Amino acid sequence: MRRLFTFMLTAAWLAAGSVLAAETTTKGPHGEAATPAASVTLTPEQEAKVRDGKFTAALSWHTTSDWSAAVGNGAKDEFGRLGIEVVAETDAGFDAARQKSDIETILAKKPSVIVSLPVDPETAPEAYRPALAAGTKLMFVDNAPKGFVHGTDYIAISSADLVQMGAKAGKALADALGSKGKVGYIFHDADFYVTNQRDQSFKATVAATPGMEIAVEQGLADPARAEDIGNAFVAQNPDLDAIYVTWAEPAELVLAALRNAGNTRTKIVTLDLSEPLALDMVKGGNVAAIVADEAYMIGVTAARAAALGLIGESVPPFLAVDAIAVTKDTVKDGWNQSLHRDPPASLGVQ
């Protein structure tokens, strides 16, 4: 009886543990467990085999930004090191139909592998099917087309640890506020897996911090409207201690709103590095912390996994790089670690 009780207690504890784990670890789009990106490496023999293969690669982005450029640079550098020539690069401008056209166009160059971030997982199968038919391998960043099977249709997904990013943003803000305060929450109001996971993880972290609360929240579909939302937040809640903004571009506009209102009290925390925000942070302005992923490493990992896939090696389905909380004192390290370059000279932290 006592053994049975102990068994049940253990089972309940394990079940509770797995529920907690599900909420606090990043899952891939199909619920895959995350594998640390650093575990993906090639042996010298494998590298030699890749070089002998005379492979080519193409990159198809959902849009272009500082972040996608860093991922692209990581991929290009690693492909270059492995002797894989990058023959084309495209930008779909968040347009699913255009991405389909981009893939079709790329295929005229018959690349061995395409590294791509799908704009819309729902309609993406139709976009990437011609690549599969042509025998081109697929390696994804952040997300995979719905219904595609790891190992059969694509090599793997390389991504940030999205839950870790949101959680680190929440923790960084708690540190800045002394674990006490009212927070405004501007989340991405779109069905986009990346921002959705980051936003929800931030919210959960704040909710789990005694003394902190989400006092007001507003979805954001058009980044250009962030300034209006920021203005409305502080107009309605003059005692707001901080505002979380879903990514850097709208956060710059929220910062502008606070500055115009002469507000030096309300802190900002956001995700993805930005020079204007970092400048404000090093000058002791509103920005308390910027959380970034190791974007360059996402690209390096994608290239490594692609190379392994090209020589027939299997790779775990979902590879996640770490997140970094960048504060006033860690700007230089943050830039180096995330984007693989020094911060802009204007920040004065060289």
Partner 1 sequence: MALDRPAGLPRIGRIDPTAYVVYVGFLLIFAVFAVVLRDSGFLTASNLLNIVQQTAPVTVMAIGMVYVLTAGEIDLSVGSVVAISALSAAVVMREHHWLLGVAAALAAGGAIGLVNGSLVAYGRLPSFLVTLATMGLLAGVARWMTNLQSVPVTDPTFTGLFGSGRLFGIPSLLIWTALAVGLGHYVYRETRFGAHVLATGDSPRAARAAGIKVDRLRLKVMILGSLCAALAGLLYLGRIQGARYTLGETDLLTVIAAVIVGGTRLNGGAGTVVGALVGSLLMGMLNNGLILMGLAVSEQMIVRGLIILAAVALTLREPRR
Amino acid occupying residue 6: T
Establish if 221 lies at the interface with partner 1 (CB under 8 A): yes
Least separation in angstroms between residue 159's CB and partner 1 is: 20
Contact window for partner 1 (CB under 8 A) among 85-93, 234-242, 311-319, 340-348:
85-93
Nearer residue to partner 1 within complex by CB, 98 or 328: 98
Helices (H), the chain: 2-24, 44-52, 66-81, 96-107, 124-133, 162-177, 193-207, 226-236, 248-260, 275-282, 295-310, 331-339
Residue 87 touching partner 1 (CB under 8 A):
yes
* Residues 20-59 interacting with partner 1 (rule: CB under 8 A): none
Give backbone dihedrals phi and psi of 72, rounded to 5 degrees, phi first.
-60, -40
Residue 203 CB, shortest distance to partner 1, in Å, is 18
Judged by CB under 8 A, which stretch of 101-109, 254-262, 312-320, 330-338 contacts partner 1?
101-109
Site residues (CB under 8 A) for partner 1, limited to 154-213? 189-191
- Which of 95, 213, 217, 313 binds partner 1 (CB under 8 A)? It is 95
Q: How far is the CB of 230 from partner 1 (least distance, A)?
A: 21
**Which span (107-115, 164-172, 174-182, 315-323) binds partner 1, by CB under 8 A?**
107-115
Query: Residue 11, CB half-sphere, CA atoms under 13 Å: how many?
Result: 6
Does position 7 interact with partner 1 (CB under 8 A)? The reply is no
350: exposed, middle or buried (C-beta count within 10 Å: 0-12, 13-18, 19+)? exposed
Report the C-alpha gap between 208 and 173 in whole angstroms: 13
C-beta of 4 vs 133, nearer to partner 1: 133
- Which residue stretch of 40-48, 89-97, 286-294, 342-350 sits at the interface with partner 1 (rule: CB under 8 A)? 89-97
Residues in the chain: 350
In the DSSP assignment, the letter for residue 117 is -
Residue from 20, 48, 80, 104 touching partner 1 (CB under 8 A): that is 104
Closer to partner 1 by Cβ: residue 101 or 179: 101
Contacts with partner 1: how many residues (CB under 8 A)?
A: 35
* Binding segment (CB under 8 A) for partner 1, from list 94-102, 171-179, 242-250, 340-348: 94-102
Q: Which is nearer to partner 1, 106 or 310 (CB)?
A: 106
Give the C-alpha separation, 202 to 325, whole Å.
Answer: 13
Q: Which residue's CB is nearer to partner 1, number 83 or number 285?
A: 83
- Give 66's contacts (C-beta < 8 A, 6+ positions apart): 272, 273, 274, 339
The yes or no reply on residue 132 touching partner 1 (CB under 8 A) is: no
Among 18, 101, 179, 314, binds partner 1 (CB under 8 A): 101
Q: Residues 120, 272, 293, 294: which binds partner 1 (CB under 8 A)? A: 120
Given the structure tokens 């058009």, which residue do they identify? 222
Between 129 and 182, CB nearer to partner 1: 129
The β-bridge partners of 36 are 320
Helices (H) and strands (E) counted in the chain, each on its own, are 12, 13
Contact 184, 243 (CB under 8 A): yes
Query: Could you tell me which of 172, 177, 181, 170 has the C-alpha nearest to residue 239?
Result: 181
Instruction: Determine whether 5 is exposed, middle or buried from the number of CB atoms within 10 Å of its CB (0-12, 13-18, 19+).
Output: exposed
Backbone CA torsion sign across 98, 103, 108, 114: positive
Q: Of 190 and 279, which has the nearer Cβ to partner 1? A: 190
Site for partner 1 in 54-83 (CB under 8 A): 61, 64
Candidates 278, 193, 286; CA nearest to 244 is: 286
Place of tokens 């959960």: 204
Query: Where on the chain is the footprint of partner 1 (CB under 8 A)?
Result: 61, 64, 86-91, 93-98, 100-102, 104-106, 108-110, 119-120, 122-123, 125-127, 146, 189-191, 221
